[in-house]
């Protein structure tokens, strides 16, 4: 009589364990309906769902498996599965799946408990949990930019209340100092091809126009306008013109002095290098200035750069910009244009920014990420990263630390 049996193997891991058990199943010509294996620390957990043929003697199979487990000092358990339950399980494979990604300097039990409770409250079933970040040494409690932790949780089904679940995740993220991304597990998630970045306070740590204003002695006035614009309280075009006008008379050499003190954002070089190794195209879409964007383009190997042209005459800033201002809507237009030029869908685009003028392009992209952003932007963006550097984006597309190391070594 045909039977369906779940075989569960656990114990100290070592080479040859899986081969030993599957070898027995092969001798009896069993069909493998499902299989999964994981190793945590040095402990193996192996599950195999098998179908015994009509003429097979399942008792002989189980006896041989038990004997092998005893010989190897491994635990093995068997559970018969009803055919109706099996067919019900098979029917569920068409359900939507989502990926929940947890990012922090260190993952704690409190963080995981809060997230998994929210998952359960929304009727989602966890299929698997995997660690994407590398193993960590026990070298003290101090956390720095070298500390990165990421767990990826695969869940099945649709949340009962998507907006409420997102609000719960945002609350947990703020309280527990971690980032939580919730994405549909589609083919596009694993096949993004273009990443577009804001520049100021995204690829670099500073706002260039504020730095130039400091050089011109109008830092306070410009900083106030910048902050209001980034919070969405002022029209970007008018605020931008007002700030640039205050730079009138600044000597051209100030641009180089500012450039010399610009710092790249944590993880920027690692991210761009890894994306290039994976064949991604990259772009800067900035409300800042092309003078600095072109420097970044050469430094990092960025493919496209669109920003504002600061007018300079006779070695001095005129207080005007040349051409169309790159505001929020213009960023969205440029994103669509580059995607069309590259022959890819918008679902394959990732957009990253921190200000209100980045929201239009974040909304256009298949994956929009608010990076260390203002509260308004975090609330309105699909995803947000605040605890890690820019290279945390790699986790959202499923790139593990060991993958990154291999790619960067090759380059």
**Fold observed for domain 194-410:** Rossmann fold (3.40.50)
DSSP H or E stretch at residue 99:
strand 97-104
403 included as an active-site residue: no
Q: What is the pLDDT of residue 139?
A: 64
- Inform me whether the pLDDT recorded for 235 exceeds 90: no
* pLDDT tier at 53, thresholds 50, 70, 90: confident
Domain with residues 95-185, CATH architecture: 2-Layer Sandwich (3.30)
Residues 291-326 have pLDDT tens digits of 999 999 999 999 999 999 999 999 999 999 999 999
Give the confidence band of 150 by pLDDT, cuts at 50, 70, 90.
very high
CA-to-CA distance for 394 and 405, rounded, in angstroms? 12
Report residue 409's pLDDT band, with 50, 70 and 90 as the boundaries.
confident
pLDDT (tens digit, 9 = 90+) per residue, 249-277? 999 999 999 999 999 999 999 999 999 99
Contact 328, 357 (CB under 8 A): yes
Average pLDDT, the chain: 92
In the predicted structure, residue 226 carries a pLDDT above the cut 90: no
Q: Half-sphere exposure of 347 toward its Cβ, with a 13 Å CA cutoff? A: 9
| Domain span(s) for CATH 3.40.50.1000 in the chain | 194-410
* CATH 3.40.980.10 given to domain 3-90: no
Residue 139 or residue 239, greater confidence: 239
How many CA atoms lie less than 13 Å away from 282 in the CB half-sphere? 24
198 is catalytic: yes
Q: How far apart are alpha carbons 180 and 167 in whole angstroms? A: 11
Which pLDDT score, from 0 to 100, does residue 91 have?
79
The predicted-structure confidence for 333-381, as pLDDT tens digits, reads as follows 999 999 999 999 999 999 999 998 999 999 999 999 999 998 889 888 9
Q: Tell me how far CA of residue 261 lies from CA of 204, 213, 348, in angstroms.
A: 11, 14, 34
| Stronger pLDDT, 93 or 320, i.e. the higher one | 320
> When comparing pLDDT for 381 and 138, which is higher?
381
Extract the tokens encoding 184: 């549909």
The span from the CA of 147 to the CA of 125, in Å, is 30
DSSP state letters, 25-89:
HHHTT-EEEEEEEEEETTEEEEEEEEEE-TT--HHHHHHHHHHHHHHHT-EEEEEE--HHHHHHH
Which of 200, 354, 358, 391 does the annotation list as catalytic?
200
Q: Which of 194, 178, 308, 334 is nearest to 241 (CA)?
A: 308
For the segment 185-198, the average pLDDT, to the nearest whole number, is 93
**Three-class SS state of 181:** strand
Residue in 13, 179, 198, 358 annotated catalytic? 198
Q: Whole-angstrom Cα distance, residue 86 to residue 54?
A: 17
Residue 93 confidence (pLDDT) = 73
């Amino acid at each position: 009589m045909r039977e369906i049996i779940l075989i569960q193997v656990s114990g100290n891991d070592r080479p040859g364990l899986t081969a030993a058990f599957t070898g027995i199943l092969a001798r009896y010509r069993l069909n493998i309906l499902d299989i999964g294996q994981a190793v945590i620390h040095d402990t193996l957990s192996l599950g195999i769902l098998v179908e015994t043929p009509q003429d097979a003697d399942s008792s002989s199979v189980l006896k041989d498996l038990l004997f092998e487990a005893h010989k190897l000092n491994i635990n093995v358990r068997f559970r018969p599965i009803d055919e109706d339950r099996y067919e019900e399980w098979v029917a569920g494979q068409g359900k939507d799946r989502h990926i929940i990604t947890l990012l922090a300097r260190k993952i704690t039990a409190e963080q995981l408990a809060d997230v998994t409770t929210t998952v359960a409250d929304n009727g989602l079933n966890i299929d698997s949990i995997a660690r994407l970040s590398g193993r960590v040494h026990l070298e003290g409690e101090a956390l720095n930019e070298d500390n990165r932790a990421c767990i990826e949780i695969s869940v099945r089904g649709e949340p009962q209340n998507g907006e409420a679940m997102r609000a719960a995740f945002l609350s947990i993220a703020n309280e527990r100092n971690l980032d939580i991304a919730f994405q549909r597990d589609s083919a596009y998630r694993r096949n993004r091809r273009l990443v577009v970045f804001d520049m100021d306070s995204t690829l670099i740590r500073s706002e260039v126009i504020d730095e130039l204003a400091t050089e011109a002695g109008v830092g306070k006035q410009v900083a106030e306008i910048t902050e209001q614009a980034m919070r969405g309280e002022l029209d970007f075009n008018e605020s931008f013109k007002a700030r640039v006008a205050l730079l009138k008379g600044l000597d051209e050499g100030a641009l180089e002095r500012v450039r010399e003190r610009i710092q790249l954002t944590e993880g920027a070089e690692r991210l761009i290098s890894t994306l290039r190794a994976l064949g991604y195209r990259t772009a800067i879409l900035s409300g800042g200035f092309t003078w600095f964007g072109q420097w970044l383009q050469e430094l990092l190997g960025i493919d496209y750069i669109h920003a504002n042209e600061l007018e300079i005459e006779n070695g001095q800033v005129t207080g005007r910009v040349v051409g169309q201002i790159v505001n929020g809507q213009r960023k969205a237009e440029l994103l669509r244009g580059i995607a069309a030029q590259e022959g890819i869908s918008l679902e394959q685009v990732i957009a990253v920014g921190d200000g209100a003028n980045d929201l239009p392009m974040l909304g256009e992209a298949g994956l929009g990420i608010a990076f260390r952003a203002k509260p308004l932007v975090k609330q309105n963006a699909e995803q947000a990263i605040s605890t890690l550097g820019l290279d945390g984006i790699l986790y959202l597309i499923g790139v593990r630390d060991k993958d990154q190391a291999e790619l960067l070594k090759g380059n």
